[in-house]
Amino acid sequence: MATRTRRSQRRTEALSRDRIVEAAVELLDTAGEGGLTFRALTERLATGPGAIYWHVANKDELLDAATDAVVAAALAADSPRAEPSARVESSARAEPSTRGESAEPAESAESAKSPDSPQDKIRAIAFGLFDAMADHPWLPTQLALQLSRSPWGSVTPQIFENIGRQVRALGVPEGHWFTAASALVHYILGAAGQNAANNASARALAPDVDRAEFLDAASQAWEDLDPDDYPFIRAVAAQVREHDDREQFLAGIDLVLTGITALHLSGEQGGTTPSAT
């Protein structure tokens, strides 16, 4: 059942790489990672496999292109105007604690009260990716796969560059640029991906229950672990349940930002690498 063939458009608009990628994203969104096959794709696009292979080298390239497109859209979205909590929908209470709480998060000397400080821009980028992963549950996996296929593929540099510019704007000494940007990128990708995976799993376990209810099921799995083997996890399980995902995510970012600021407050002459530059 289901799988309504929306092929009613009757051969309008010729096939193109962009249309194929677009169809691939739709297929991934609706049918999941396993739903993207060349047969499903040919059916949706009303062609044969050969037509697709004329525009795209192979499936990996297609997946990379789909990943690229979604990430690029996420990075572009927060560029004009940062809308950090625009999508917060059900958790509007995230706003008050979103700002200036948690251990004075690293406000740099100069651009502290500016509406778009580097910190704010970093948070905006992070939430852009966070939301993209929530919208496209296959993104984290594909991101990881592409990263291991070709670490200098198009996506990683995109993210790294965007974060890196803000790190530089933060006033971090050049010797620490790579370390600081890496720490941010890895945290953002990892935490956002983890969160997306949590949501996907919870949704799978309990298809149509309320958010609160499935969060219950999620941390329940942690609480079911043997208390002798996993005392720490058991201890944080309850904590996790009570917390808003976005709030938690933001707290982690601010933690890393704090570390970065502490770094460049300490020594200008390149701490970790005495022999560098």
Instruction: Check residue 134 for interaction with its own copies (CB under 8 A).
Output: no
Nearby residues of 89 by Cβ (< 8 Å), 6 or more positions away? none
Instruction: Check residue 102 for interaction with its own copies (CB under 8 A).
Output: yes
Q: Among its own copies, DNA, none, what binds residue 49 when CB lies within 5 to 8 Å by partner kind?
A: DNA
Residue from 132, 193, 214, 215 in contact with its own copies (CB under 8 A) = 193
Q: Which residue ranges make up the site for DNA (CB under 7 A)?
A: 14-15, 36-39, 46-51, 53-55, 58-60
Give, to the nearest 10 degrees, the angle between helix 139-149 and helix 118-135: 110
Residue from 17, 194, 209, 216 in contact with its own copies (CB under 8 A) = 194
Instruction: Count interface residues toward its own copies (CB under 8 A).
Output: 86
Instruction: Check residue 252 for interaction with its own copies (CB under 8 A).
Output: yes
What Å distances lie between residue 116 and 80, 121, 129, 166, 183, CA to CA?
11, 6, 18, 11, 21
DSSP 8-state symbol, 7: G
Instruction: Check residue 218 for interaction with its own copies (CB under 8 A).
Output: yes
Instruction: Check residue 28 for interaction with its own copies (CB under 8 A).
Output: no
Residue from 62, 191, 214, 245 in contact with its own copies (CB under 8 A) = 191
Instruction: Check residue 115 for interaction with its own copies (CB under 8 A).
Output: no
Q: Among its own copies, DNA, none, what binds residue 38 when CB lies within 5 to 8 Å by partner kind?
A: DNA
When the beta carbons of 52 and 183 are compared against its own copies, the nearer one is 183
Closest CA relative to residue 142, chosen from 181, 179, 196: 196
Taking the complex as a whole, the smallest distance from the CB of residue 192 to its own copies amounts, in Å, to 9
Q: How far apart are the first and last CA of the chain?
A: 63
Nearest 5 degrees, angle CA 100-CA 102-CA 105?
A: 60
Closest CA relative to residue 222, chosen from 201, 205, 237, 242: 237
DSSP 89-143: TT-TTHHHHHSS-SS-----SSSSS-TT-HHHHHHHHHHHHHHHHHH-TTHHHHH
When the beta carbons of 30 and 239 are compared against its own copies, the nearer one is 239
Instruction: Check residue 228 for interaction with its own copies (CB under 8 A).
Output: no
Taking the complex as a whole, the smallest distance from the CB of residue 165 to its own copies amounts, in Å, to 5
